[in-house]
Structure 1
Amino acid sequence: MLRLRLDPSSPPAVQVGGCATWETIASLAVLARFRVRGGGTYARWAHETQQRVSPDLVRELWLRVAAVSPPPPSDSSTPDFGEAFGGGDLPSLLDEYWCAAVEPYWTEMAETVRAEVRRRNETLVARGWVAMLSGIDAHLRWRPPLLASPHQEDIRHVARGRRLRLVPLVFGGAWSLFTALPVGAVAVSYALPAGQALQGLPGTQACVDTEVDPLAILLGRRRALILRCLDRPATTTTLSAALGIAPSTTSEHLRELLEAGVVRRTRRGNEVFYELDRSGFTLMAEFS
């Protein structure tokens, strides 16, 4: 869990900015962890990218970048993998992946991020940093004075933040990135809202199946989409917003998936999260 205590009476220095290197890491998480076929937030992008990028390359890159803390986010408009990851063959392999998987979409992605940065900075100036953090991401919870990522089991960090760098990512829905920076600063990513993030990405559509999905034939289209979006724990509200389905309908589908034993439910504070159970992972492996 990531927990940052931000004292409203002593405002931290907050900076918002995208990062091409972090986008690359997050996009690898989409391909390596989602294993989408026919549905999911980034389904069509993943399908097109899998035609151009070797699965072995994705697997190797993900294992290597996920094993270390992400590099400090840079303001460069393009990634510098040599500076971020040092010597060896990793920078050249990441560059190969970037050219095939991310660069073709980068112009539209960068504009989406710039629009988000402008919006957050305008809120920061007009209403202050507490308002700016409100509603930032369903997976990055802001309840003053704590900024927390309770679902992210890969992060174990508790700190009192004095300098905060927020990194909006188009591919941020797959993986939360976090790194500690010098002088008590921290950087953390958050996902852009699906409608905003995917606007302008050629051939990408949020949580909509793009081909005949065998899992949808077995379970029904909406239940299949819910399963494919449960790569990480999510609330009914999050799923409903991502899929464009009424909360009551989403709840009914989740109830049926719970009864089938492919989804489990856990309560964390006042929120209820749903995630794939072991049977669910097995099922997804069969239909990935």
Structure 2
Amino acid sequence: MTIPGWLVHLFRTGAGSLPPFLLTVPASDAPDLSEELAPLAAVSPARARAELEQRFPRGVPAEVRPLYADPEARAAELRAFLPRYWRAALAPYAATLRAATEEDILRRARTLATQGPEALLNAVGGIAVPGGVAVPGVMAVSGVSRLVLVPLLFGRGTPFSAVSPDGSEAALSYPVEGSAVLVGEAPPERRADTPERGDRLEILIGRSRAGVVRALVVPTTTSDLATSLGLAPSTVSQHLTALVAAGVVRRRRAGVRVLYELDRPGVVLLRHLDHARGMRAAR
């Protein structure tokens, strides 16, 4: 499967972001792929060219010229490509990805309910300003009647933003807590027993226990952890016992299953010590 060259160039030259006309504001809290792609059928050529000229003030590069010349055709190409990419790259992991995002949404909802909208916006990288929201270096929107926060599992923390054509709605992405766990890094069992150089979490608690902490961004059973990490169930159980005792992990029952997941101190630990690791991987 080949990604359109103009799309690759846009992503790379934009520090991992895309022009707003290619990004849509979700119409519901659980849109399917066809709903999210539908607005691309109504891309305004004038808007597309204006945003490309703003993005490339010294002239639109040759790699992006196909998009500039015919925005509608390239948008149709993107609408055809993305479903194929989803089926090949993401559909096999849909359940895990959904569980991670839903858990994160619950955390954010608690922040909103207990601390208010300003705390929520600050937590996801936005800053509440009079009449709107601002994201340093990304977007500043005022007067919107609807702001949608979109959990992002991939993108290495790069924020994406979108504004509806009439300016009444805006969307802002934010990284799901622990999302570095799900970006395809090598599992701990395939590496040496000593901590990876510069991996602060492994240096602090050891390689296999760090693997357990990273895996628990999604609620998981002992047996599933053992299978996914390639560790003996007894080893995983020992790690979980210690992590629960330390207050890093919590245990809860779901029917006949016992699930383990990161408690808030564990999320903070992962966010703080995994951040530099994720940044190195992005380079």
Would you say same fold, with TM above 0.5?
A: no
TM-score for both structures, normalised by structure 2:
0.45
Higher gyration radius (CA): 2
